[in-house]
A and B are shown apart, each in its own frame.
Chain A
């Protein structure tokens, strides 16, 4: 893990560098290690149907360890549904999902979290009524081992546990740039802060795989750039594998090692960013949608 993140660090140019250059480095890097890194998350012919609607149609994706793997596609393509399926929020229609070779199908979401997956949501879903630091502490739930009767008896182990958790939560708070704001109600944080706090909460579960659902939705260009720098920092500091749903093509190209394109629930292209960008099916999907939108302005 540590070695992987060491390698990847060199692959990333500072934010100011031209996208083209970053891209080629990332591509090279991706090609070089494709054989070496094991698959962390694998979906095999994953299908998800809601009544008559097929939201995912035999989608097979391999997410290699240590990479930032983007999933792109027009609205309604099934990206969020993919996350829900991995997290076992939906009962999938057919196919298989594995994390490091272990099947996830049939587990409850909390078991999936225990297996090492954490996610954020397209529309931020913090616990709005409690403070920032309490949100993080909830994320740490899994790692606190003291039982409820120990809390009732205020056992020394429990107190020790709590102190450690608070210290760790403060660390994470600092990492997501909210040092000194722990006391603020989550709902009173600014939009960007809420996004980062949500990522921090996911990090508190100490995942192997972090799934981010449109972390830049509704942000202005400057905030988007900051968020991308932040996502890289997360990967480097925690040695994580990241699956990223993203709409901003420029940033997808800049940050990803590998890109999967979904359209109407079907995987239409996959590869390094440069390849995907020039793929005719992708252009068709995006332009086609754009053309459709122009025809039906509704």
Chain B
């Protein structure tokens, strides 16, 4: 220590601090710049550039680059310890540094042909980004926009909570109104007052500048008003009640109802393609609620979850299909209808779930992930295997599964199927919610927290764990059965490991242990890539980034359960 002090007297402490901050700014700017160049090279920027947020003014590519600069500005602002003036300078430096990488890319592209390696790096990629300005104008634009973005990011972070939240709402509203313009325009095609709203906000290609401003202002004001209302309520209500377990009902039910309304109304106004997407989303919501019982409540990590989905689907197919593989074809069993087969499919999945749980009862932690992964793969391999081919149809699957009927009418329209699934989702959600608050739900939480202590308090681990696997599997079996009827066929390739990973990812993004979180996660991870088709190519990149971002900034998930929120957000005392 003393030697360090004696050898460093030449450096003024404040100056060394400034130098340290400068390095920080340069480093943050470089990371943002490299990410931008990477996005350009692999083609993300090109795809984003084609999606207009505000017609003729802003593409998603701009938004992407601007938020990159903003993120690095915010980072530098929070990390820097220097005086305000120095911090501002550092933020600007970081922003310029991030822009510099793209300038370098322009220069490089002007002199070297990189397209043999990166097909996305065409000259019109950047030309559209810089509004057809030349190399010099473009460079200035990149550097300036980088600096501006960084300042905006720092500002946003530096603002107090209320205005920040309102700004975020406003910007999100513009982004949503712009990116989802097709859907919203379809939704706004009805009737007089709404149609005029549409012409006010949109031209046929997308959101107008005027529309963007209106969207921003509206969201901003709504957020502000909500905040005022909330504060008023809090002041009136006084401190929270004591000695009651959290008022689950009030907080969770309200949010669930809100989400539900969106789920019901949205496909109705947005057309049948959205209906199909929402159908898929609701199947994943069903699975998510099942896996939530296993992972979110009981803490039993399960990477073989897709097996139960497969069991449900195959049971439905075997019992109802009009095919040589159907049980009715070669046994004396009658061919069942959708409604008769459904409980059997759920039951079969539950049984497999319990069987599945048995071998991993004593397995804990990381090993559980590996063990369940293996079990899930066993099911998939069995289905594809030659041995099972005479029964399950091998890779060709089972065709001609009938669609569900209600009162003799076949539900062919995807919209009708969606609403049918929605009813199942509702029932399942009610069941999941009641289970969560029950004696069994508490036992699951206890097992998740400390298995040994739970057992020493008289909780039967075997029973509770098997119930978690069985009930979780029941949800997946239900989803699988509906899936088979929806597609009117089952193929083994629908049941890959990726399904399990998708379900787990949507749970984590939405918030482990939270029912509304399951819906949010499914909308984001399953619905969004389907709606924004062009992003489908980068789907897993998107997953990865989203997971990292959520883990970093909201480890409790986007819509956490109240309990989990407290758990993650509050520091551990004692």
Tally of chain B residues near chain A (CB < 8 A):
41
Q: Which of A174-206 contact B (CB under 8 A)?
A: 179-183, 185, 187-191, 194, 201-202, 204-205
- A110-B460, A170-B243 known; A138 and B442 CB under 8 Å? yes
* Partner of B439 from A151, A194, A205 at Cβ < 8 Å: A151
Q: How far is the CB of A251 from chain B (nearest CB, A)?
A: 22
Q: Which of A62-117 contact B (CB under 8 A)?
A: 87, 89, 108-110, 112-114
Residues of A within 8 A of B566 (CB): 129, 185
Q: What is the CA–CA distance of A180 and B241 in the complex, to the nearest angstrom?
A: 9
Q: What is the CA–CA distance of A166 and B566 in the complex, to the nearest angstrom?
A: 22
* Partner of A148 from B440, B458, B461, B574 at Cβ < 8 Å: B440
* Partner of A151 from B435, B452, B456 at Cβ < 8 Å: B435
Q: How far is the CB of A57 from chain B (nearest CB, A)?
A: 25
Q: Does A261 contact B (CB under 8 A)?
A: no
Q: Does A122 contact B (CB under 8 A)?
A: no
Closest A-chain residue to B454, C-beta based?
Answer: A138
Contact A137 B442 (CB under 8 A): yes
Q: What is the CA–CA distance of A245 and B131 in the complex, to the nearest angstrom?
A: 78
* Partner of A187 from B241, B443, B572 at Cβ < 8 Å: B572
Q: Does B570 contact A (CB under 8 A)?
A: yes
Residues of B within 8 A of A146 (CB): 438-439
Q: Does B14 contact A (CB under 8 A)?
A: no
Q: How far is the CB of B505 from chain A (nearest CB, A)?
A: 22
With most chain A CB atoms within 10 A of its CB, the pick from B435, B450, B453, B456 is B456
Contact A113 B567 (CB under 8 A): no
Closest B-chain residue to A190, C-beta based?
Answer: B574
Bitwise interface map of B from 546 to 566 toward A, beta carbon under 8 Å scored 1, else 0: 000000000000000001101
Q: Does B445 contact A (CB under 8 A)?
A: yes
- A125-B450, A138-B446, A146-B439 known; A189 and B574 CB under 8 Å? yes
Contact A129 B567 (CB under 8 A): yes
Q: Does B455 contact A (CB under 8 A)?
A: yes
Q: What is the CA–CA distance of A108 and B435 in the complex, to the nearest angstrom?
A: 25
Contact B434 A182 (CB under 8 A): no
Contact A128 B443 (CB under 8 A): no
Q: Does A283 contact B (CB under 8 A)?
A: no
Contact B563 A130 (CB under 8 A): yes
Contact A128 B572 (CB under 8 A): yes
Q: What is the CA–CA distance of A139 and B500 in the complex, to the nearest angstrom?
A: 34
Closest B-chain residue to A114, C-beta based?
Answer: B458
Closest A-chain residue to B513, C-beta based?
Answer: A129
Closest A-chain residue to B467, C-beta based?
Answer: A148
Q: What is the CA–CA distance of A259 and B446 in the complex, to the nearest angstrom?
A: 34
Q: Does A276 contact B (CB under 8 A)?
A: no
Residues of A within 8 A of B452 (CB): 89, 109, 125
Q: What is the CA–CA distance of A121 and B445 in the complex, to the nearest angstrom?
A: 19
* Partner of B570 from A87, A130, A188, A189 at Cβ < 8 Å: A188
Residues of B within 8 A of A148 (CB): 435, 438-440, 467, 471
Bitwise interface map of B from 429 to 471 toward A, beta carbon under 8 Å scored 1, else 0: 0010011011111110110011011111111110000010001
Residues of B within 8 A of A179 (CB): 243
Q: Does A44 contact B (CB under 8 A)?
A: no
- A125-B450, A127-B450, A185-B566 known; A133 and B456 CB under 8 Å? no
Q: Does B1 contact A (CB under 8 A)?
A: no
Q: Does A42 contact B (CB under 8 A)?
A: no
Q: Does A158 contact B (CB under 8 A)?
A: yes
Contact B450 A183 (CB under 8 A): no
- A151-B438, A187-B572 known; A128 and B449 CB under 8 Å? yes
Contact A152 B435 (CB under 8 A): yes
Residues of A within 8 A of B434 (CB): 151-152, 154
Q: Does B246 contact A (CB under 8 A)?
A: yes
Contact B242 A180 (CB under 8 A): yes
Q: Does A131 contact B (CB under 8 A)?
A: yes
Contact A110 B242 (CB under 8 A): no
Q: Does B573 contact A (CB under 8 A)?
A: yes
Q: Does B249 contact A (CB under 8 A)?
A: no
Q: Does A173 contact B (CB under 8 A)?
A: yes
Query: How many residue pairs at the A-B interface have CB separations less than 8 Å?
Result: 137
Residues of A within 8 A of B445 (CB): 127, 129-130, 134, 138
Residues of A within 8 A of B567 (CB): 129, 185
Q: What is the CA–CA distance of A154 and B242 in the complex, to the nearest angstrom?
A: 25
Bitwise interface map of A from 279 to 296 toward B, beta carbon under 8 Å scored 1, else 0: 000000000000000000
Q: What is the CA–CA distance of A158 and B243 in the complex, to the nearest angstrom?
A: 21
Q: Does A142 contact B (CB under 8 A)?
A: yes
Q: How far is the CB of A11 from chain B (nearest CB, A)?
A: 30
Q: Does B244 contact A (CB under 8 A)?
A: yes
Q: Does B240 contact A (CB under 8 A)?
A: yes
Residues of A within 8 A of B461 (CB): 108, 110
Q: How far is the CB of B150 from chain A (nearest CB, A)?
A: 38
Q: Does A33 contact B (CB under 8 A)?
A: no
Q: Does A118 contact B (CB under 8 A)?
A: yes
Q: Does A235 contact B (CB under 8 A)?
A: no
* Partner of B457 from A113, A128, A158, A182 at Cβ < 8 Å: A113
Closest B-chain residue to A146, C-beta based?
Answer: B439
With most chain A CB atoms within 10 A of its CB, the pick from B437, B457, B471, B572 is B457
* Partner of A110 from B240, B440, B459, B471 at Cβ < 8 Å: B459
Closest B-chain residue to A117, C-beta based?
Answer: B456
Q: Does A229 contact B (CB under 8 A)?
A: no
Residues of B within 8 A of A185 (CB): 566-567, 570
* Partner of B245 from A118, A142, A166 at Cβ < 8 Å: A166
Q: What is the CA–CA distance of A138 and B244 in the complex, to the nearest angstrom?
A: 15
Residues of B within 8 A of A233 (CB): none
Residues of B within 8 A of A267 (CB): none
Q: How far is the CB of B555 from chain A (nearest CB, A)?
A: 13
Q: How far is the CB of B298 from chain A (nearest CB, A)?
A: 13
Q: How far is the CB of B348 from chain A (nearest CB, A)?
A: 19
Contact A205 B574 (CB under 8 A): no
Residues of B within 8 A of A181 (CB): 242-243
Residues of B within 8 A of A173 (CB): 243
Closest A-chain residue to B433, C-beta based?
Answer: A152
Q: Does A219 contact B (CB under 8 A)?
A: no
Q: How far is the CB of A290 from chain B (nearest CB, A)?
A: 30
Residues of B within 8 A of A138 (CB): 442-443, 445-446, 454, 457, 459
* Partner of B240 from A89, A128, A130, A183 at Cβ < 8 Å: A183
Q: How far is the CB of B521 from chain A (nearest CB, A)?
A: 21
Closest B-chain residue to A198, C-beta based?
Answer: B453
Residues of A within 8 A of B244 (CB): 133, 166, 182-183
With most chain A CB atoms within 10 A of its CB, the pick from B455, B461, B570 is B455
Q: How far is the CB of B248 from chain A (nearest CB, A)?
A: 11
Q: What is the CA–CA distance of A201 and B458 in the complex, to the nearest angstrom?
A: 11
Residues of B within 8 A of A89 (CB): 452, 456
Contact B573 A187 (CB under 8 A): yes
Q: Which of B334-392 contact A (CB under 8 A)?
A: none
Contact A127 B453 (CB under 8 A): yes
Residues of A within 8 A of B446 (CB): 127, 138, 141
Residues of A within 8 A of B563 (CB): 129-130
Q: Which 4 A-B pairs have the closest CB atoms?
A: A151-B438, A113-B458, A182-B243, A142-B458
A-B contact pairs, 17 of them (CB 8 A): A121-B453, A129-B564, A129-B566, A129-B567, A133-B244, A134-B245, A138-B443, A141-B459, A161-B439, A166-B244, A166-B245, A180-B243, A182-B243, A187-B573, A188-B570, A188-B573, A202-B457
A-B contact sample (20 more), CB < 8 A, given A182-B242, A191-B574, A202-B457: A108-B460, A108-B461, A110-B459, A110-B460, A130-B445, A134-B245, A134-B442, A137-B439, A137-B442, A141-B446, A141-B457, A151-B439, A152-B435, A154-B434, A161-B439, A166-B245, A182-B243, A182-B245, A185-B567, A194-B574
